[in-house]
Amino acid sequence: MVFCSAERPGHHGQTGRTSGITGQDGRRKNKQAAESGAGENFGGTKTPEKINPISQNPVARPRVDPKVRGFKATLISMHFSFPKNWRRIGFLVGSLALLAVAFRDLVPYEPLPGARPAADRLEGWFFSPIGQSAPLIFFLSLCFLYRRAGTLVRGLSAPRGGGLAILLIPPGVGLYAWALHTQAADLLLLSGVLLCLGGAALLAGRTGFRALFLPATFLLLLVPLPAVVLNHWVYPLQIANAEWSATILTEWLGIAATQRGTVVFTGGQAFQVIENCAGLRTISTMLMASFVYAEIFLRGRLQTVLLILAAPLIGLVVNLGRVISLMLNPAGEIVAVHNLQGIVMIVVGVLMLAALDSLLSRWIADDSDYVGRWSPSPDQTQKASSPWTWRRPAALSVLSLLVVLSFSVPSWQPPRMQHWPAPYAIPNQIGDWTASPAKTDKKAMGSIAPNHWIDRIYKNSHARIRLFVATARATERHTSLLSPRNATVGAARQIEEQEPIWLEGVDSAGSAAVLSGDFERVLSYTWLLGVWDFWTESGRLFLALDRSDWVEPRQAVWVRISTIIDATPESRHRADRELRAFAARLQPWLVDLTAPRAR
C-alpha cells in the first residue's frame, strides 16, 4: 500500500506509520512542556520561561485563582516560594524586633506627662485641646498601611530610586538621640516618622516612600502643639465662640444674651466657654475625619484637597452648635449630658462632611489614576537593584545604631544642688501696703498651669491694688506663661483696649489693658520675666531646649497688678501713678524669683 511504503522528506528510513506515532508523541510532549512552562516545540526550540513581573526573576508561577488580587495574592505567592524567601522573613522579623526595642519608650505614649488631667476622662478623650487619642491614631495608621501593603511588598521586591533616604535618615537619627536625651516622647515619635519614611525610601524606593507617606505622617496628629501656640489659639477661639453664641441667641432666637470675655449671660444664668469648648479639638477631629473619609471612599486629588480644606470650617460650625445647644439645655451642666451632646455634634460633623462629598462627586470627575495608585504596574523606566546588594544591610545598620543609642544616650537630669524660690516669699507688708488673700478664678487661667502663685489684695489709706504673681519651670513643656489671657483678672472681663508699656526696672515691655465688667472697669498692668518672644518660646518648647545643658536654666515669672478705675481721665492717670509706684517697690522680690538658689 502506498501509505505504508511512503517516506517523509528528511526522515529517511522511517515508515509512514512510524512517523505518525512519532508525531503523536511529539504533540503530547509539547502539550506537557507548555503546561510546565518549559519544553521544546515542534521546531526543537525552547519555549521562554515564565517571568515574575514583580521580581523580574525566572521562577515557576504559582497557580493562584485569577480572582484573587492585591495583598492576598502577594501573600499566596510568598507562601509558594517560602524556601526561597527565608532571608526576607528573617530580615523582616529582625527589623521589627530592632524597631520595637529602639522605640520601646513610646508605650505608653505620654507626650506631656506633667499636663493637668481632665476632670472627666471621656471629656478629655474627645475634647481636650492638648492632643488626639493615641490608640485611635495608631489604629487608623495601621489601617492605611494595610491598604498599601501590596504596593509596599512590590517595592521591597524591586526597589527603584530612594535618594530621599539620604535626606530623611540622618536628621531622623539625630532627632532620635535628642529625644532620648531630653526624654521628649513627641520628638521620639517625630523621629520615628522621619525614619519610617527614610527606611521606606531606602528599602522600597520611591514606591515604598509613596505607600508609607500617609500612614507615617498621619501619626503627626499625636504631636502636641507647643503650649505657647496653644495659648494663642485657644483663647481667641473661646472669645469668638462666646461672641457668636451671644449674637445668635439674641438676633436669631430672640433670647437676650450679653457676652463678657468668655462668659455669656442669659437672664439669670451665666455660661462660660471653657477651653474644651473652644473648638480646637473639634477642628482637629474633623481634619482627621476628612483624611479617613477620603481614604475609605477612594476620592481623587481635587476632591480630597477640598474635603481637607473644608474640615476646619465644619469643625467651627459644629463646635458652635455644641456651645449653643449646651446653653439651651437646662441639663447641660451635667457632665454626662455635656459629653453626649459633644459626641452627637461630632457625628453631625461627619455627616456634614459626607454631604459635602456627595455634592463634590457630582461636579468633579473621577480620578481613576489616583484612585488606583496602590495597584500600579511595575515601572520599567529604571533598572531594579537587588535588595541585598546594599539596601537591606544599610537598613539593618541604621536599626542597630538606634538600638545602641537607646541604651547609651544619657537622659538629662536637672541640677540637684539648686532650687527655685516661690512667690510666697513676697511679704504681706510692702511699705504702707497691707495684703489680704483674694480668690483666684482658675477657669480663667485655662491651660496655664504654674507651679506656684499668689493672689493678694494690697491696700493703703487711699488705694487698692490686686497682685497676682505666678512662676513656672521652663523645663515643663506642658504649659507656658506667655498667653493673651495674661491681662485678664477674671473670665467675665472684656479687654476694651490694650497697649505696650515700659515699667521701671523691667527689661522687657509689659502690657497695659483696660478691662470692663458688669459694674466696674479695671486697669491692668502685666509683664513677664524669664520669657522670650512668641517664636523663640515656641521653638524652645517644641525642641525641649530647656531640658538640656545647652541653655541657661530659667524660671518664668508672670506678674499682674490691677486697680479699679472709672471713666474719667483723672482716674486713669491716678491709677497709672499708683501702679507704677507699687511695681517699683515690688521689683526686688521679683528679681529674686528669676535666680536659682543653692540648697
DSSP code string of 316-366: HHHHHHHHHHHHH-TTTTSHHHHHHHHHHHHHHHHHHHHHHHHHHHHHS--
| Ranges under pLDDT 50 in the chain | 1-24, 27-64, 67-68, 78-83, 377-382
d(CA 229, CA 231): 5
Would you call 457 helix, strand, or coil by DSSP? strand
The answer to whether 392 and 203 are in contact (CB under 8 A) is yes
Q: In the prediction, which pLDDT does 343 show?
A: 86
What is the CB-side half-sphere exposure of residue 16 using CA atoms within 13 A? Answer: 7
Nearest CA among 155, 248, 264 for reference residue 203 = 155
H/E segment holding residue 471 = strand 464-473
Model's pTM, two decimal places?
A: 0.80
Strands 418-419 and 597-598: antiparallel
Q: In the prediction, which pLDDT does 35 show?
A: 44
Q: In the prediction, which pLDDT does 31 show?
A: 47
Would you call 254 helix, strand, or coil by DSSP? coil
Q: In the prediction, which pLDDT does 233 show?
A: 93
d(CA 261, CA 272): 9
d(CA 38, CA 60): 10
Q: In the prediction, which pLDDT does 59 show?
A: 41
Nearest CA among 577, 482, 561, 406 for reference residue 226 = 482
CB atoms near residue 10 (< 10 Å): 6
Could you state, in order of their start, the residue ranges of all structural domains in the chain? 1-51, 102-109+146-223+389-410, 228-368, 420-598
d(CA 17, CA 7): 10
The answer to whether 273 and 200 are in contact (CB under 8 A) is no
What letter represents residue 71's amino acid? Answer: F
Polymer length of the chain: 599
Q: Phi then psi for 342, rounded to 5 degrees?
A: -65, -40
The answer to whether 315 and 283 are in contact (CB under 8 A) is yes
What is the CB-side half-sphere exposure of residue 235 using CA atoms within 13 A? Answer: 24
The answer to whether 197 and 164 are in contact (CB under 8 A) is yes
The answer to whether 49 and 37 are in contact (CB under 8 A) is yes
Cell of 408: 547609651
Q: In the prediction, which pLDDT does 119 show?
A: 58
d(CA 44, CA 366): 51
Cell of 91: 530580615
E-state strands within 214-280? 258-260, 263-266, 269-272
d(CA 149, CA 478): 37
Nearest CA among 475, 426, 353, 472 for reference residue 592 = 426
The answer to whether 421 and 588 are in contact (CB under 8 A) is no
Residue 524 bridge partners (DSSP): 513, 562
The answer to whether 480 and 537 are in contact (CB under 8 A) is yes
